[in-house]
């Protein structure tokens, strides 16, 4: 049995980005943008990248005009995902997967989900799916 855990925030964020970018299922509509390849963890969390819905087309800038669904921050021992879109759906889905969740009291509100181990990267993917589904069910303004 392996007793080691992956608790490096930068590496966890990299794994999450790889899972999002490599998903050919439901998450194929997401893309990682504004990535900082030299991001260094901080106590408050340093912005590593944004996650946006993609637009149709092969353009490398696909999704950049869309507001982010989430932003990923790195700490020394974990990654933090701040869901800007569908924060209630994100909170419910993350809690169902036993991820640590808390609201962020800002306007508009956000939901923070902590990914504290490399294995939890797989746990948060359904949260992104739920946020996507919630966005699709909202009426156009």
pLDDT tens digits for range 4-62: 677 899 999 999 999 999 988 889 999 999 999 999 999 999 999 999 998 654 455 55
Of 5-9, 66-70, 113-117, 128-132, where does mean pLDDT reach its minimum?
Answer: 5-9
DSSP per position, the chain: --------HHHHHHHHHHHHHH--SGGGGEEEES--TT----SS-EEEEEEEEPPSSS-TTTTTTSPPSEEEEE-SS-EEEEE-SSHHHHHHHHHHTT-EEEEE-SSS-EEEEEE-STTHHHHHHHHHHHHHHHHHHSPP-
Residue 45 Ramachandran class (φ > 0 left, ψ -120 to 50 alpha, else beta): left
Per-position DSSP letters for 28-58, written without gaps between them = GGEEEES--TT----SS-EEEEEEEEPPSSS
Residue 97 has pLDDT above 50, yes or no: yes
- Please report the sign of the dihedral spanned by the C-alpha atoms of residue 55, residue 14, residue 132, residue 104: negative
Per the prediction, the chain carries an average pLDDT of 88
Angle, to 10 degrees, between the axis of helix 120-137 and the axis of helix 87-96? 140
Q: Quote the CA–CA distance of 45 and 122 in Å, as a whole number.
A: 21
Assigned CATH for 9-137: 3.90.1150
The pTM for the full model equals 0.87
Could you tell me the residue ranges of all domains in the chain?
Answer: 9-137
Burial of 63 (0-12, 13-18, 19+ CB in 10 A): buried
1 pLDDT band, cuts 50/70/90, is very low
């Amino acid at each position: 049995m392996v007793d080691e855990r992956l608790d490096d925030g930068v590496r966890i964020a990299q794994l999450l980005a790889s899972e999002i970018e490599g998903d050919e299922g439901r998450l194929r509509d997401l893309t990682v943008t504004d990535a900082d390849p030299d991001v260094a963890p901080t106590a408050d969390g340093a912005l590593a990248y944004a996650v946006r819905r993609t637009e149709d087309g092969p353009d490398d800038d696909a999704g950049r005009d869309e507001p982010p669904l989430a932003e990923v921050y790195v700490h020394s021992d974990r990654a933090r995902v701040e869901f800007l879109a569908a924060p209630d759906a994100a909170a419910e889905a993350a809690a169902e997967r036993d991820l640590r969740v808390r609201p962020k009291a800002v306007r508009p509100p956000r939901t923070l989900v902590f990914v504290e181990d490399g294995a939890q990267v797989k746990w948060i993917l359904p949260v992104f799916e739920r946020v996507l589904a919630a966005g699709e069910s909202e009426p156009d303004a």
